[in-house]
Chains A and B, each alone.
Chain A
Amino acid sequence: QQQVKQSPQSLIVQKGGIPIINCAYENTAFDYFPWYQQFPGKGPALLIAIRPDVSEKKEGRFTISFNKSAKQFSLHIMDSQPGDSATYFCAATSNTGKLIFGQGTTLQVKP
């Protein structure tokens, strides 16, 4: 019930491509869904987050799509760049603040 399942585990795209990372959750009490970017040896940084009352949110080149009925959400990175190469984590939480993280996706953007 507390799990957040993330796929794929790794992803390779060419520069300019649109990598898509998917997450699924079970707990309907979750009402905040952030995405984090983590570089090796660093802490995670918040990219973008969504609440379940909207189906899509865009911030710069990052877009979250949210499907409440399917309990799924995904991250799209438009015009991906080599500097976007990192590990991406989805997460979910309720107002307890306890973040439940997905397993992570290692993205490589080739020049």
Chain B
Amino acid sequence: GAVVSQHPSRVICKSGTSVKIECRSLDFQATTMFWYRQFPKQSLMLMATSNEGSKATYEQGVEKDKFLINHASLTLSTLTVTSAHPEDSSFYICSARGAGDAYEQYFGPGTRLTVT
């Protein structure tokens, strides 16, 4: 199956700083990437959808100025959490979808963000 990687797998940052998370599709071209957030023992909540070369579309309630998403190439999308606060601590997961399939998404291994 298709492989999606995320970097870093874990990050700890101080309150007020920014942190960037990378999502890469390793063996296919991802025309669309999705970013999810998952709090402990909860389900995945879609934050935003990004198409290569276009601005991301954010779900209701997600601050686009706080969670900056860039999808500059067909294999890389980045999520930058700006001015992070402890309440932003969560598990961030990306997924990627290729051009040939409207439905199947391949998930990355996730990034654990802890804001102190």
CA distance A34 to B95 in the complex (A): 14
Determine the interface band of chain A, counting residues with CB < 8 A from chain B.
Answer: 20 to 34
Q: Is B46 within 8 A of A46, CB to CB?
A: no
Interface of B is mostly: strand
CB-contact partner of A95 in B45, B49, B102, B106, under 8 A: B102
Number of interface residues of B (CB under 8 A): 25
A22 within 8 A of B: no
Interface residues of A (CB under 8 A from B): 32, 34, 36, 41-46, 49, 89, 93, 95, 97-104
Q: Are B43 and A43 in contact (CB under 8 A)?
A: no
Task: List the B side residues contacting A46 at CB < 8 Å.
Answer: 1, 104-107
**Residue of B1, B32, B110 contacting most chain A CB atoms (<10 Å):** B110
Residue of A nearest to B9 (CB): A41
B85 interface residue per 8 A CB criterion: no
Report yes or no: A97 in contact with B109, Cβ–Cβ below 8 A. no
Chain A residues near B4 (CB-CB < 8 A): 43
Contact string, B69-98, partner A, CB cutoff 8 A, digits 1/0?
A: 000000000000000000000010101010
Q: Assuming the A-B contacts A43-B93, A43-B110, are A101 and B43 also in contact, with contact meaning beta carbons closer than 8 angstroms in the complex?
A: yes
Complex partner residue of A97 from B44, B49, B107, B110, CB under 8 angstroms: B49
Instruction: Please give, as numbers and ranges, the residues of chain B lying within 8 Å of A44 by CB-CB distance.
Output: 44, 93, 107
Q: List B contacts of A34 (CB < 8 A).
A: 103-104
Q: How far is the CA of A97 from the CA of B112 in the complex (A)?
A: 24
| Known contacts A43-B107, A43-B108, A93-B103, A98 near B49 by CB under 8 Å | yes
Q: Are B43 and A42 in contact (CB under 8 A)?
A: no
Q: Which of B1-48 contact A (CB under 8 A)?
A: 1, 4, 6, 32, 34, 42-46
